[in-house]
Structure 1
Amino acid sequence: MNFSHQTYRDQFVAACLTGLPDTAENWFRRLDDVVNGVVVAEAVEADTTGEPPLRSLTALGDLGALGVQVPVEYGGLGLGDGAACLVVERVAQACASTAAILMFHYQVVRRTLAFGADPWRDDDLRGFATGSLIGASAWTEKATTKNKENLQTRLRSHGSRLILDGEKTFCTGLSAAGVVHVLAETELDGGRQGATFVRVDPKDPGVRISAAYPLLGLRASGTASVELHGVELARTDLVGEPGSGRRLMGHNHEVCLNPGLLALGAAAGAFEDACLMVTGRMPDTQPRTGAEQVRASLADTLVRVETSYAYAALAVAGCGEGASPVVSSKFKLQASAAAEEITGELLHTVGSRGFLGSFPLERRLRDARATALMGPSNSLIRDRITDHLLTTDTLPEADHDQR
């Protein structure tokens, strides 16, 4: 699939693999084989049908990619969150939909490691490690506002039982998931604790999953709604303490496991595709590198791609346990906004064939646009970044009249 050795990724790859043994690089070479084989082969079909890329997920699971963060004692690779970021970006170069499922799965793995309860934590981790269990999250609702205020999904206690009711929308990976972490307003023992994550089995008779959404981009990401009607749970099904939901959401944002990685991969994939097309190395294309406009566009686009990867390397290096969520938020904003510009420009670079659905660039464009809209949306991220800027001491003091 690649036009050339992607030197623009080197800093990002190094940041993701910092502190890991050489065996990690060997494993990523095996990942390249799976991506360039199974994932590339299924990407077009999955985008056309909208069905989850099950062959790709199975191949990735067999390789151990779903357990990249899971400690070795549970059967995982034990490579951590940085390696998980690299897996998502690399898979997104071939199929952003498959990568989206992985990204949200990795968020569930991270949450399970930190906050999982004894009765199910170890079994889930072993399932993640073998690839037999995929995780998804259900945060979003139709009426929620910033920071998931005004949740209508409710978890209430009835004696020793807990009952969950509500509806969640835009749940990525839901079609392939074997476990779902649902965010609900919690009212236990007559008191109101606030938002809490709870572990739900999608096969529970009270769970109803809709058909996958007919999305413009990320069509095969298994994004759907889930209705919850009288789902009976135990207190051990809570993920973290009652009322800890927003703190756990913040825990998710301590690392770069967000749609910025999908955007990064989509931009890189689009650039490689465009290079193949304008050099006539992709079937049914003719060389166009003699045109001054094409040459200038390729140069500008390469610099934009390199800039995105350099920023991603800084973000990955600056993230980790206890890091400010604004770091990963800035990365998502930069990567997704850049990917929209890059893919749009490349459509013009390659000429009229770029607008044909039989070539991959239009899929890259749709997927890149989707990353900007995925939660948290770029408009919300800009609001968060500005709030952070105005409430820190980073603003200069006006010690004289600067008018």
Structure 2
Amino acid sequence: MNWPTDVNPRDELLPDLGEMLATLQREAADDGAGRPSDDALLSLHTGGVLRLPIPVEYGGLGGSWEAVNRVVTALARVDASVAIITFLHYASVSRIMGWGTTEQKKRLLSAVALEGSIIASSWSEPGSDAAKQHIATSAQARAHGGWRLSGAKSFTTGAGVASLYLVLARTSEAEGASGSYGQTNQGIFVVDAAQPGFVIDGTLDLVGMRRSATGLIRLDSYPTGPDDMLAHSVDTPALIGYPHTLGLTLGAVALGIAERAYDIALETARSRSLLDSPLHRHHVFQLGSRLAAVRGVVEAATRPSPDCTAAALTAKVFASEEAEAICRGAQEMAGSAGLSQGHPLNRLAQDARAITLMGPPNYLCRDLVTWRLGSPS
């Protein structure tokens, strides 16, 4: 995908995007450290990626959510791990923009735009359900305001590379009402990684998204101030799902993976003269038609709709599963060469699989969408 050069820079174009992608390209296959290099992370800041959707008054570019999805796709074509870190950063930024107080917006959005802070979300825990309705991490009210957080989180993408974290914690022992995602006895808190009580407990050795710095964090009586709770507990389920109402979708990551896999399939077919065969030409056509369908569904997620949440979740399911199929089809084109451990199609296939499992996982997305179909309008 060639990045457009003749569109509104505030809405569709990022300065230095080509240079940033070149930086990622040089190291995308180097996943031994389990995280992007400091140079790659810096390029997200200097290239304007991190501040794309942030309003201009806070130092951002004021880009649209459609542009956000397109940037995530462009990143995923080169490095899906960096794309997933960036997508979850955008999701966190959207929550602050939609639910934060004036003080929180000024403090947190400015930290992103001016200092290059990355924001991660930390919901998952060992033993908790996918809908995050039963978690152990607790938030105890402090006598003079604020809360004290204690607990452990697993599968936190961006652990150790993010400066700020949105952490989900129980605010009451009483059972809360369940939303589609989360409960009303929970709160979301802004946690600063530089403060005492925040601990990185290691990086997970994943099969897919190996450079995503996905790991465990621990909160040891971490003290938050009165202005560090992003929303009151009753709003937590809505806050968790808020990015989907804007059309933000993990399908944008899957689309980038699918685009790259298709490119490799086409390059392979040309280099091996496979396009001389009608059978292989038809195979390439099938992969291209699948890719076109994925692109259409992802692009539709940010269009005006009676239910953007359903569109975003549907795009996530469809794009991730079709990306897996496109990767398999591309591997068939590669033949035995695709069996080598270092072949890029193996990494792409594992990354596509990872998207199907990331929250909300595809089975939960299906349930959330079909549950909404039965709800009164």
Q: Aligned to 1:180, what secondary structure does the other structure show?
A: strand
Tell which deviates more after alignment, 126-135 or 23-32.
Answer: 23-32
Among residues 308, 313, 319, which one is paired with 2:299 in the alignment?
A: 313
> Does 2:285 correspond to 1:299?
yes
Tell which deviates more after alignment, 361-370 or 377-386.
Answer: 377-386
Looking at structure 2, the residues matched to 355 and 32 of structure 1 have their Cα atoms a distance apart, in angstroms, of: 31
Please list the CA deviations of residues 111-167 of structure 1 after superposition, one character each: whole Å capped at 9, or x if unmatched. 112222454431321221135200000111223235321121111113114211111
> Does 2:331 correspond to 1:347?
yes
Q: Aligned to 2:211, what secondary structure does the other structure show?
A: coil
Among residues 196, 210, 215, which one is paired with 2:201 in the alignment?
A: 210
Looking at structure 2, the residues matched to 50 and 365 of structure 1 have their Cα atoms a distance apart, in angstroms, of: 18
**Pair 170,340 (structure 1): closer, same or farther in 2 beyond 3 Å:** same
- Choose 1 or 2 for highest CA Rg: 1
Amino acid in structure 1 at the alignment position of 2:218: E
- Structure with greater helix share of residues: 1
1:121-160 mapped onto 2 (5 Å cutoff) = 121-130=105-114, 132-145=116-129, 147-160=131-144
- 1:30 is displaced (CA, Å) by 3.9
- 1:225 is displaced (CA, Å) by 1.2
Among residues 64, 86, 94, which one is paired with 2:48 in the alignment?
A: 64
**Pair 307,223 (structure 1): closer, same or farther in 2 beyond 3 Å:** same
> Does 2:157 correspond to 1:172?
yes
> Does 2:240 correspond to 1:249?
yes
Gaps of 5+ in 1: 7-12, 281-285, 394-403
Please list the CA deviations of residues 36-73 of structure 1 after superposition, one character each: whole Å capped at 9, or x if unmatched. x111111011x343232432221121011100011112
Looking at structure 1, the residues matched to 111 and 226 of structure 2 have their Cα atoms a distance apart, in angstroms, of: 22
Amino acid in structure 2 at the alignment position of 1:122: K
TM-score with structure 1 setting the length: 0.85
**Pair 324,312 (structure 1): closer, same or farther in 2 beyond 3 Å:** closer
**Pair 53,96 (structure 1): closer, same or farther in 2 beyond 3 Å:** farther
**Pair 247,299 (structure 1): closer, same or farther in 2 beyond 3 Å:** same
Indicate conservation of the 8 Å contact 2:75/2:83, yes or no.
Answer: yes
Looking at structure 2, the residues matched to 29 and 177 of structure 1 have their Cα atoms a distance apart, in angstroms, of: 22
Looking at structure 1, the residues matched to 132 and 72 of structure 2 have their Cα atoms a distance apart, in angstroms, of: 25
- 1:290 is displaced (CA, Å) by 2.3
- 1:257 is displaced (CA, Å) by 2.6
Amino acid in structure 2 at the alignment position of 1:254: T
> Does 2:169 correspond to 1:184?
yes
- 1:32 is displaced (CA, Å) by 3.5
- 1:177 is displaced (CA, Å) by 0.3
Indicate conservation of the 8 Å contact 1:308/1:334, yes or no.
Answer: yes
Gaps of 5+ in 2: 177-183
State the match for 2:181 in structure 1: none
State the match for 1:397 in structure 2: none
Q: Aligned to 1:211, what secondary structure does the other structure show?
A: strand
Amino acid in structure 1 at the alignment position of 2:80: A
State the match for 1:39 in structure 2: 24
Amino acid in structure 1 at the alignment position of 2:346: E
State the match for 1:400 in structure 2: none
- 1:231 is displaced (CA, Å) by 0.7
**Pair 29,203 (structure 1): closer, same or farther in 2 beyond 3 Å:** closer
Indicate conservation of the 8 Å contact 1:62/1:131, yes or no.
Answer: no
Indicate conservation of the 8 Å contact 1:127/1:133, yes or no.
Answer: yes
Amino acid in structure 2 at the alignment position of 1:166: G
- 1:29 is displaced (CA, Å) by 7.5
Q: Aligned to 2:199, what secondary structure does the other structure show?
A: strand
Q: Aligned to 1:173, what secondary structure does the other structure show?
A: coil
**Pair 335,143 (structure 1): closer, same or farther in 2 beyond 3 Å:** same
- 1:77 is displaced (CA, Å) by 0.7
Tell which deviates more after alignment, 263-272 or 75-84.
Answer: 75-84
Q: Aligned to 2:326, what secondary structure does the other structure show?
A: helix
Indicate conservation of the 8 Å contact 1:157/1:187, yes or no.
Answer: no
> Does 2:374 correspond to 1:390?
yes
Q: Aligned to 2:245, what secondary structure does the other structure show?
A: coil
Q: What value does the CA root-mean-square deviation take over the aligned residues?
A: 2.6
Looking at structure 1, the residues matched to 353 and 124 of structure 2 have their Cα atoms a distance apart, in angstroms, of: 19
Looking at structure 2, the residues matched to 316 and 120 of structure 1 have their Cα atoms a distance apart, in angstroms, of: 26
State the match for 2:179 in structure 1: none
Among residues 224, 232, 235, which one is paired with 2:223 in the alignment?
A: 232
Q: Aligned to 1:64, what secondary structure does the other structure show?
A: coil
Looking at structure 2, the residues matched to 331 and 58 of structure 1 have their Cα atoms a distance apart, in angstroms, of: 30
Please list the CA deviations of residues 152-188 of structure 1 after superposition, one character each: whole Å capped at 9, or x if unmatched. 1111113114211111111111221000000111139
**Pair 25,163 (structure 1): closer, same or farther in 2 beyond 3 Å:** closer
State the match for 1:328 in structure 2: 312
1:88-127 mapped onto 2 (5 Å cutoff) = 88-127=72-111
Amino acid in structure 2 at the alignment position of 1:340: E
Amino acid in structure 2 at the alignment position of 1:310: G
Q: Aligned to 1:69, what secondary structure does the other structure show?
A: coil
Identity fraction in percent: 28
> Does 2:267 correspond to 1:276?
yes
**Pair 353,25 (structure 1): closer, same or farther in 2 beyond 3 Å:** farther
